[in-house]
Amino acid sequence: TTPSALLKSCLERIAARNGHLNAFTHLASTDELIRKALLADARWAQGTPQGPLDGIPIAVKANICTKEHPTTCASNILKDFTSPIDATAVRLLMQHGVIILGKTNMDEFGMGSTNIHSAHGPAYNPLGPVPEGHLGGRSPGGSSGGSASAVAANMCFAALGSDTGGSVRTPAAYTGIVGFKPSYGRFSRRGLVAYASSLDTIGLLTKKVADAKILYDILAQYDEKDSTCLQINEEPTVLHGDLNGVRVGIPQEYFMTGLSSAVLQAWNAAAQHLASRGATVVPVSLPNTKHALPAYYVIAPAEASSNLARYDGIRYGHQSERCDSTLKHELYTATRTEGFGTEVKRRIMLGTFVLQANSYTSYFLQAQKLRRLVQSDFDNVFAKPNPLRSTDSGSHNSANGVDILLTPSAMGSAPLLADIANDTGETPVNEYADDALTIPASLAGLPALVIPYGQDTEGMPVGVQLLGQYGNDRAVLDIGKMLE
């Protein structure tokens, strides 16, 4: 097949389904897309493609900057904003000939797990019922819900998302596709609109692990424009077609109350699958897992409250017109009141509170200590030392440590939007609690891969998650291929 044939089929699916699924919030002009695809056709015909993805259509989450398309972050405060730069990840893709199809729906600024908190309205899961009215469908997960929906509905070959606490992995699990969050710093964050900078990563949504690997090889580049970009190189993994000698840990603390039976079954079946390929599967303990969720919901809002202070109506995006005061703070207040949605306001309030002088020690500092405990738990079970922390190379757990961890990725399968809306018990805290399985890896900055593995009784997909030691992204991807 040629790039233009692939583009044509993507555009047909978009025309047929995007109206319902609301996956794309902005599409590139069809003429421009066709022009680019024909150029790529010619390069392939001449045997001179710009790389393995030359002419391949890829979607980009609305919080990743592109010069050619708006970057709304699904927020009214940025509804007319177009960035003067391309994110480094976008630039690298374009250098390899990738065609950017458009921008995808999300929870505003990445804050959410179901894509209901979007100024563009919710995105829908292509595997659920076709929405009749507003609440007919299922959630594609969040916050990268549009990216996942677009990939799962074959509207694009792959999509970029972002993952701060699970935002690529939860949507992958709910839509039955592959979701990869690299080690923190492995992909440049330049041009990824900041939510919680110490946790933010750009991530990948694809149909197959092999596709994620191709994108990984393009995007895993040091970038001097991101001060937290990783300079540590990876040793190639040596897997010879099976998993002999590979030790897989099953963290006992991930047997959380609330896991659905389909999720438990998938987890168990995946463990048996890895064992059948020669891996040694052992139980391990990560005793501080329970602290991850509260620590995250202090740290992420704290960083968000600081990062979102830049939206003042003066430098970027929306400015309130209903304010005739010349006092700057009144313009700020009017602009921010109009521009931010409820969930974003809640996070800003929460973050501002935990950073106040009289709560800083009891909340923010405590959360940082808990984060360190969660990180140490992982270092205590992995065979490889953490390249960021360990100076003693020899004395590590190499004998009884594990190479990879296998966990569930979500408590259950994709919820119906009606259930999210009707559940009177659904408080923000309940929504946050659904992130318990993805957040520990985010706090520790670890590479994490979600792979579809089975389905529930209603046919909705269920995923499992693989976690690797910091910097060991390739090992995670290589072992992940064995689960397909």
Under the binding rule (CB under 6 A), the answer on residue 435 touching ligand GLN is: yes
* Of positions 7, 37, 89, 111, contacts ligand GLN by CB under 6 A: 111
Tell me the per-residue interface mask from 299 to 338 with ligand GLN, x by CB under 6 A, - otherwise: -x--------------------------------------
475 binds ligand GLN (CB under 6 A): no
- Start-to-end CA distance of the chain, whole Å, equals 24
The nearer residue to ligand GLN, 113 or 375, going by C-beta atoms, is 113
Q: Does 341 bind ligand GLN (CB under 6 A)?
A: no
Q: Is 440 in the site for ligand GLN (CB under 6 A)?
A: no
Q: Report the residue number, 243 or 344, with the smaller CB distance to ligand GLN.
A: 344
Candidate segments 50-58, 104-112, 229-237, 255-263, binder of ligand GLN by CB under 6 A: 104-112
Residue 97 or 112 having the CB closest to ligand GLN: 112
Bridge partners, residue 54, by sequence: none
Burial code (b: 16+ CB inside 10 Å, e: under 16) for 332-348 equals bbbbbebbbbebbeebb
Instruction: Report in angstroms how near the CB of residue 454 gets to ligand GLN at its nearest.
Output: 24
Q: Does 166 bind ligand GLN (CB under 6 A)?
A: yes
Q: How far is the C-alpha of 172 from the C-alpha of 248, rounded, in Å?
A: 22
Which range, of 121-129, 158-166, 247-255, 401-409, touches ligand GLN by CB under 6 A?
A: 158-166
**CA torsion sign, 188 to 193 to 198 to 203?**
negative
Backbone angles phi, psi at 443, to 5 degrees: -60, -35
Q: Based on the residue annotation, tell me whether 61 is a catalytic residue of this protein.
A: yes
63 binds ligand GLN (CB under 6 A): no
320 is catalytic: no
- CA gap 484, 472 in Å, rounded: 20
User: 209 near 481, Cβ under 8 Å?
Assistant: yes
Instruction: Exactly one of 4, 36, 61, 442 is catalytic; name it.
Output: 61
CA geometry: angle 300, 226, 451, nearest 5 deg = 60
| Cβ 159 vs Cβ 58: under 8 Å | yes
State which of residues 115, 143, 288, 307 lies at the interface with ligand GLN (CB under 6 A). 143
Distance between CA atoms of 408 and 67, rounded to whole angstroms? Answer: 38
Cβ at position 299, least distance to ligand GLN in Å: 10
Q: Which of residues 170-229 bind ligand GLN (CB under 6 A)?
A: 195
* CA separation, residue 227 to residues 186, 189, 193, 219 (Å): 12, 9, 15, 16
Amino acid found at 436: A
Structure tokens at 195: 């939510």
Annotation marks residue 390 as catalytic: no
Question: Is residue 164 a contact point for ligand GLN (CB under 6 A)?
Answer: yes
Under the rule (CB under 6 A), what is the footprint of ligand GLN? 110-113, 143, 163-167, 195, 300, 435
